[in-house]
Amino acid sequence: MKKTAKWIRRTHVFRRDEYECSSCGAKTDKPKKVCPGCGLPMKGSKYDPSWVEEVVLMDMILGDD
């Protein structure tokens, strides 16, 4: 079984952007390779083109376990 999560970017008016784990909701100020909260490897960052997220979404829908 291989699980991954991705960062959801939260922008704030008075604070720096945060990145929230799509799996456990842990927040960090920088997108890391592994979530500090749940330890899942993260797919997707600000460097990825949008189609990558769609592929990840497909992967989540299809399931791989």
Residues binding Zn ion (CB under 5 A): 21, 23-24, 26, 35, 37-38
Q: How far is the CB of 14 from Zn ion (least distance, A)?
A: 25
- In order of 7, 12, 15, 41, the CA distances from 33 in angstroms are 10, 22, 23, 6
Beta carbon nearer to Zn ion, 34 or 55: 34
- Tokens standing for 65? 């376990």
Beta carbon nearer to Zn ion, 34 or 57: 34
- Tokens standing for 43? 């797919």
Q: How far is the CB of 5 from Zn ion (least distance, A)?
A: 5
